[in-house]
Amino acid sequence: MNSQLRIEAAGDSHVGRQREHNEDSFAVDLDLGLFVVADGIGGAAGGEIASRMAVDIVQSFCRDSESEITQPTGYDELAGPLEVRLVSAIWRANERIFEVGQRDPRFYGMGTTFAGVYADATSACIAHVGDSRVYRYRGRHLERLTEDHSLWNEHLRSGEQLPDDVDPLLARNVVTRALGMGKTVDVATRVERPQPGDLLLICSDGLSGPVPEPEIAHALARGDDLATAARSLIDLANLHGGPDNVTCVLIRWIPAL
């Protein structure tokens, strides 16, 4: 991306067709260049609280130029300022969510996935924990930019077979990392250089679970405005049964006027 490009973005969320409460949260902050989806985990209202905390804390941390940046030993010393600030914000959110869960029995064990994009004039930093995803749609091709932190995917990457007593469908839905699961969390990051026309999709597994990727790509190929495209993706998830809350955030880089 260069000074001749600008960002447009939109997001939407829906409870789905089989859930009573929406535990997803999202943020579209064009002023900051921050775009986030969080999918809550936990009983009662815990998941909803955890996802909202994650979004609010990360957004507040990135907005406050005085926020204390943390870069512990072993973290990539070549990481740029966007990446370091975003990861520090996610660590702060993880600590707060974990503390609340430990302090209040009602919310014990609550957590949330997290997928976010933090962009400036030249780059887009992607950070995620759990199975919420980030895709890039470029040249009519959809590419997944994140790897799920799920029981299924961890075994797939290691080359190990799932135990015979583990249902493969269940393994796909069991996350191995989430904010609030422990005092610390391992955040996966990557930095991309946006090109004109690039479209990034951040979504909860309410979309990526029931809807095959070719159908997602087909929906994005229509070239709708982003608010319409986000709603179309949600409608598509609900047409596939709407088994979960579904949230989509779309970010596009276009020529500046």
How far apart, in Å, do the first and last CA atoms of the chain sit?
A: 15
Average pLDDT, the chain: 89
Nearest to 149 by CA among 173, 125, 170, 116: 173
- Residue 55 tokens read as 């979004």
CA 36 to CA 30: how far, in whole Å?
Answer: 11
Name the residue among 254, 148, 143 with its Cα closest to residue 198: 254
What is residue 163's predicted lDDT score, i.e. its pLDDT? Answer: 61
pLDDT at 75: 56
Percent pLDDT > 90 in the chain is 74
Give the residue-averaged pLDDT of 149-159: 66
Query: What number is the average pLDDT over the span 126-146?
Result: 97
157-210 pLDDT tens trace: 665 665 655 555 554 667 899 999 999 999 999 999 999 999 999 999 999 999
Is residue 236 predicted with pLDDT exceeding 90? yes
Mean predicted confidence (pLDDT) in 86-94: 95
| Dist. CA 99–CA 107, nearest whole Å | 10
The domain ranges of the chain are: 5-255
Mean pLDDT of 214-229: 97
Predicted confidence at residue 1, as pLDDT, reads 41
Q: Is the pLDDT of residue 13 over 90?
A: yes
Q: Which CATH superfamily is domain 5-255 in?
A: PPM-type phosphatase domain (3.60.40.10)
Would you state the pLDDT for residue 36?
Answer: 98
Torsion angle, CA of 195/247/56/145, rounded to 10 degrees?
A: -40
Say if CB 207 and CB 237 are below 8 A apart: yes
Question: Which pLDDT does position 43 carry in this prediction?
Answer: 63
pLDDT tens for 19-56 read 999 999 999 999 999 999 999 997 667 999 999 999 99
**Which two tokens mark 16?**
């789905």
